[in-house]
Amino acid sequence: QNNAKVAVLGASGGIGQPLSLLLKNSPLVSKLSLYDIAHTPGVAADLSHIETKANVKGFLGAEQLQECLKGCNVVVIPAGVPRKPGMTRDDLFNTNASIVATLTTACAKHCPEAMICIISNPVNSTIPITSEVFKKHGVYNPKKIFGVTTLDIVRANTFVAELKGLDPAQVSVPVIGGHAGKTIIPLISQCTPKVDFPQDQLVKLTGRIQEAGTEVVQAKAGAGSATLSMAYAGARFVFSLLNAINGKEGVIECAFVRSDETESPYFSTPLLLGKNGIEKNLGIGKITPFEQKMVADAMSELKASIKKGEEFAKNFK
């Protein structure tokens, strides 16, 4: 049943190119549509020579977006501008909000049934924007709109594995909340295998997971933000979604979605994925007082970012 059509919107960018490469490399993808406002014919030509079955097509500019989206099962959106040193994800809002609203408007019109995976930051605001756009077009399905927070989970797994001398592939840390600074809440208490850290080390580890994006922004010294690890994480999420669509049981990923788990209208928790997107929200589960405090402390920032996205979408023409 591996005959999915996947579109990448923003396919020529720093995340878009390596993400497209990883998707082309997967037997789960049979058609790969690459869209951007520049360079997509070249990226598509390059990838089309790879000896895997996915058929690659490049689409350039707004007039080709409709054709790109037609018949898509999954749309991944890494389009937008990256952070520079000293910038927060929210500093990207003005540019990226318009880009996401424009692209998701096209999705609502041309592939309303597709799963929509948003990578463009600030995710805490771009997911509410996407939801409002789909509502405006009368095609909103909260089970199919995902803010990709997978990189937070990937980082948590890696950092825990490093500290404990484990194979990162065997480590699984749920990360809940949002996708910016203190809204990123790693649940180390729910890690499998079970791990223990003294409180001071736990605080430091949690802070590193929350600020890992900034670690990369600073290391790249003005040349962008996390692109390769983000492409890996984005691909991991898409593959999980495609496996679930194909009927695989027990596929669980965290993502930033419409939620009733907390007082925040959007919140990331582990989700059981199925043929139609979210099969079941698995919720927060049992957490420690340290983790409970992080959830409480994240609320005001989360709600403000969500409101900002919703307000933007209401005024977007």
Output the six-digit token pair for 155. Answer: 């980082």
Q: Is 259 annotated as a binding residue?
A: no
Q: Is 224 annotated as a binding residue?
A: no
Output the six-digit token pair for 302. Answer: 């989360």
Q: Is 247 annotated as a binding residue?
A: no
Q: Is 131 annotated as a binding residue?
A: no
Residue 165 vs residues 195, 203, 218, 270: alpha-carbon distances, Å: 11, 19, 26, 25
Tally Cβ neighbours within 10 Å of residue 269. Answer: 22
Q: Is 208 annotated as a binding residue?
A: no
Q: Is 230 annotated as a binding residue?
A: yes
Q: Is 33 annotated as a binding residue?
A: no
Asked if 249 and 259 count as a contact pair (C-beta separation under 8 A), the reply is: no
Q: Is 157 annotated as a binding residue?
A: no
What is the rounded CA–CA span in Å between residue 120 and residue 172?
24
Asked if 305 and 90 count as a contact pair (C-beta separation under 8 A), the reply is: yes
For the chain, how long is the longest CA-to-CA vector? 56
Asked if 306 and 265 count as a contact pair (C-beta separation under 8 A), the reply is: yes
Terminal-to-terminal C-alpha distance of the chain: 39
Q: Is 10 annotated as a binding residue?
A: yes
Residue 179 a catalytic site member: yes
Q: Is 96 annotated as a binding residue?
A: yes
Dihedral of CA 23/24/25/27: which sign?
positive
Q: Is 15 annotated as a binding residue?
A: yes
Q: Is 121 annotated as a binding residue?
A: yes
Q: Is 16 annotated as a binding residue?
A: yes
What is the rounded CA–CA span in Å between residue 5 and residue 113?
12
Instruction: Indicate which residue of 39, 49, 110, 179 is catalytic.
Output: 179
- Annotated binding residues for NAD(+), as ranges? 10-16, 36, 96, 119-121, 230
- Annotated binding residues for substrate, as ranges? 83, 89, 121, 155
- Annotated binding residues, as ranges? 10-16, 36, 83, 89, 96, 119-121, 155, 230
Residues carrying an active site annotation: 179
